[in-house]
Amino acid sequence: MRLPSLTRSKPEAPGVHAEPFWSLRPQSDREAGDAVVSNFMLHWFPAKISKASMAWNYSFWLGTISAALFFLTILSGLPLLFLYVPSVERAYQSVKDIEFVITFGSWIRSVHRISAHLMVIVVALHLMRVFLTGAYKNGVGRGQQREVNWVIGVVMFLTTLFLSFTGYLLPWDQLAFWAVTVGTNIAASIPAIGASVRELLIGGRNIEQATLIRFYVLHVVFLPGLLGVLFAYHMWRVRKDGGLARADAESVVESPRSTAPVPSKTYTLLGVARGTAPTVTAHTLDAPDATVNAVPDLVRRAAIATLGTIAVISIMSVFIASPLEEPANALVTPNPAKAPWYFLWLQEIVTDTTIRIGSFTLNGAFVGGVILPGLLVGLLTFWPWIDKSSHLAAGVWLPRDRRTQNLVFLLLILGVLALTFVGMVLRGPYWILYWPWEAWPEIPGRI
Ligand code: HEM
C-alpha cells in the first residue's frame, strides 16, 4: 500500500487530488490554497495571511494558547468523566481513587486542573492584549464587526471563570466546599434578590447534593458546550473581519506604497455606450511581500503554540500534584475561608468596603460583590463604543491616541493583582493581615 507523503513530487492535473492528504510543504501558491480548502481542520483558515499579524510579539498567540488549554481540559476531562461519581457520599472517594488507585489518574487530574487554572490566566492575558492593542476596533474593511467579537470574548471570559468555579466543588473536600460557600455567599449580597440568586445557583439553602449535581451538569455539559459554540463563532468572526486588526493597521501604513491606479480596460455596451472601466487600486494585502501562505506558515506557528502548550502542561503535571484535603464538612469552618484565587480580589473588597453615609449603610458585600464587578463587566463590554480613538489606533501596541485609556486599564489590572496577592498571601486567621514570614497564631480547632 502506498503511504501518503507530505510533499507532492509532481504537478497534478487541475482539480485532481492524487493523495488523500494535503501537502504541508506546498510547491506553489495554488497547492498552498488547495491545502487549506481541501482539509477539514484547516478550512476555516484564510489561504493567505498578513505577515505582521503572525508576529510572535503582536498577539503572543494567547488566543491560540487559550484554545489549546480548552482542548486539553476537554481531553483530560473525558477519562475523569468515567471515574468521577457526582454524589455527596461517593464524590470524595472517587477522586481519591483517581488520585491514588487509577494508573496515571493523578497525572490526568493534574493536567485537567493545571490547564483549567492556566486557562483563566491566559484568557485574561488575551483580553488584556486585545484591549492594549485596541483590536476591538474596526479598520477600513467593509462589514467588520470586531466590537461584536469583543463582546463575545467578554462572555467567553465569564464562562471560563464559571466553568472553573463549577469544577472547584466537584472533589467535595474542605477546600472545594468552603471556597464555593464563600463564592456563592457573594451572590447572596444582591439586595432583594440575592438569597434567591444563591438558591438558584446552589439548588437550595445549603450546599449539598442538589448543588453538586447542578455544578456537575453545568461543568461537564452546559458550560463547555457554550464555550465551544462561542469559540466557533469567535473564530468565524476573526475570519469575517479580515483577520487580526494588525493586518488592517499594516495595510494603512503600507497603503501609500500601493500600486498606482492603471486606466486599464475600455468597454462598450452593445455598441451604444463606450467608456473606460473603473480602475482598481491594488490592496497592499495583495502585495506579495505583505502576506504569506497559511500553509505552511500559519499552520506551523499554530502547531508550535498548541504542541508547546501540551508539552508544558504535561511536564508540569508530573511535578505538581493536585490538592485533596479532608472530606467536606459543613460543621468545620476553615479559618481563614478563602474563595477561589480568581475571586479573591472581590472577597478582599467585600471585607474592606462598608460605606456609611449618615444613617445609610452600604453593605461591603454589595459594593464588592455586586456594584463593582457589575460596573467593571458593563464598562468592559461596552468599551468599544465608549472608545472614540481613531481607527489608526487599532492593531497597534500602546498607541499615543489611546494612552490615557490604556493607562487607566493597566492601573485597574494592577489593583486587581494587588488585592489578589493580599487575599492569597497575606490573609490569615480571622482575615487578619500577616506578612509571609510571620507565623499564624494557633487557633483551637483550626484546620
Ligand atoms: C476561551 C477564550 C478565548 C479563546 C479560545 C479565544 C481565541 C482567539 C483566537 C485564537 C484569536 C486569534 C488571534 C490570537 O491568537 O490572539 C482571537 C482573537 C480575538 N479575540 Fe479571542 N479568545 C478567547 C477569549 C477572548 C476574550 C476574553 C476577548 C475579549 C474580551 C477576546 C477578543 C478577541 C478579539 C477582539 C480578537 C481579534 C483580535 C485582533 O483582531 O487582533 N477573545 N481569539
Q: What average pLDDT does range 151-165 have in this prediction?
A: 97
Atom 21 (ligand 1) nearest CA: 63
Q: What is the model's pLDDT at position 116?
A: 98
Q: Which amino acid is at 365?
A: A
pLDDT digit string, tens, across residues 407-428: 999 999 999 999 999 999 999 9
- Cα–ligand 1 centroid distance for 235 (angstroms): 8
pLDDT band at 40 (very low <50, low <70, confident <90, very high): confident
Beta carbon of 22 within 6 Å of any ligand 1 atom: no
Beta carbon of 66 within 6 Å of any ligand 1 atom: yes
Beta carbon of 130 within 6 Å of any ligand 1 atom: yes
Beta carbon of 125 within 6 Å of any ligand 1 atom: no
Ligand 1: atom nearest CA of 64 is: 10
- Cα–ligand 1 centroid distance for 63 (angstroms): 5
Q: How far apart are alpha carbons 368 and 383 in whole angstroms?
A: 21
**Would 276 be classed as within a structural domain?**
no
pLDDT band at 140 (very low <50, low <70, confident <90, very high): confident
State the cell numbers at 59.
498577539
Beta carbon of 137 within 6 Å of any ligand 1 atom: no
**Would 275 be classed as within a structural domain?**
no
> Could you write out the DSSP letters of every residue in 143-155?
T--HHHHHHHHHH
Q: What average pLDDT does range 222-244 have in this prediction?
A: 95
Q: What is the model's pLDDT at position 26?
A: 81
Beta carbon of 383 within 6 Å of any ligand 1 atom: no
In this structure, the number of other CB atoms found within 10 A of the CB of residue 398 comes to 13
Q: What is the model's pLDDT at position 282?
A: 45
Q: Give the chain's mean pLDDT.
A: 86
Domain span at residue 54 reads 47-253+291-431
**Would 11 be classed as within a structural domain?**
no
Beta carbon of 345 within 6 Å of any ligand 1 atom: no
Closest CA to 299 of 46, 121, 106, 79: 46
Q: Which of 9-13, 184-188, 273-277 has the lowest mean pLDDT?
A: 9-13
Ligand 1: atom nearest CA of 67 is: 5
Beta carbon of 156 within 6 Å of any ligand 1 atom: yes
Ligand 1: atom nearest CA of 245 is: 40
**Would 209 be classed as within a structural domain?**
yes
Ligand 1: atom nearest CA of 159 is: 1
**Would 1 be classed as within a structural domain?**
no
Q: What is the model's pLDDT at position 5?
A: 45
pLDDT digit string, tens, across residues 344-372: 998 888 877 666 677 766 666 777 778 88
Q: What average pLDDT does range 55-75 have in this prediction?
A: 97
Residue 76, classified by CB atoms within 10 Å of its CB into exposed (0-12), middle (13-18) or buried (19+), is: buried
Closest CA to 394 of 139, 93, 31: 139
Residue 250 has pLDDT above 90, yes or no: no
Which residue from 238, 299, 309 has its CB within 8 A of the most atoms of ligand 1, so it is best to mutate? Answer: 238
Q: What average pLDDT does range 262-274 have in this prediction?
A: 63
Q: What is the model's pLDDT at position 375?
A: 93
- Cα–ligand 1 centroid distance for 406 (angstroms): 18
Residue 216 has pLDDT above 80, yes or no: yes
Q: What is the model's pLDDT at position 269?
A: 64
Q: What is the model's pLDDT at position 262?
A: 53
Beta carbon of 131 within 6 Å of any ligand 1 atom: no
Atom 27 (ligand 1) nearest CA: 153
- Cα–ligand 1 centroid distance for 169 (angstroms): 28
Atom 15 (ligand 1) nearest CA: 63
Q: Which of 62-71, 212-221, 290-299 has the lowest mean pLDDT?
A: 290-299
**Would 282 be classed as within a structural domain?**
no
pLDDT band at 195 (very low <50, low <70, confident <90, very high): confident
pLDDT digit string, tens, across residues 98-132: 999 999 999 999 999 999 999 999 999 999 999 99
Residue 286 has pLDDT above 70, yes or no: no
> Could you write out the DSSP letters of every residue in 253-296?
HHGGGSPPP----EEEETTTEEEEPPP-PPPGGGSTTTEEEIII
**Would 406 be classed as within a structural domain?**
yes
Beta carbon of 68 within 6 Å of any ligand 1 atom: no
- Are the C-beta atoms of 392 and 403 separated by less than 8 Å? no
Alpha helices in 326-426 (DSSP H): 344-352, 364-366, 372-386, 403-421
Interacting residues of 376 by C-beta distance below 8 A, sequence separation 6+: 412
- Cα–ligand 1 centroid distance for 189 (angstroms): 32
**Would 168 be classed as within a structural domain?**
yes
Residue 141 has pLDDT above 60, yes or no: yes
- Cα–ligand 1 centroid distance for 296 (angstroms): 22
> Could you write out the DSSP letters of every residue in 385-398?
HH----GGGTTSSS
Closest CA to 94 of 82, 85, 103, 106: 85
Domain count, the chain: 1
For residue 109, give the CATH number of its domain: 1.20.810.10
Residue 208 has pLDDT above 80, yes or no: yes
More confident residue, 30 or 102: 102
Atom 11 (ligand 1) nearest CA: 63
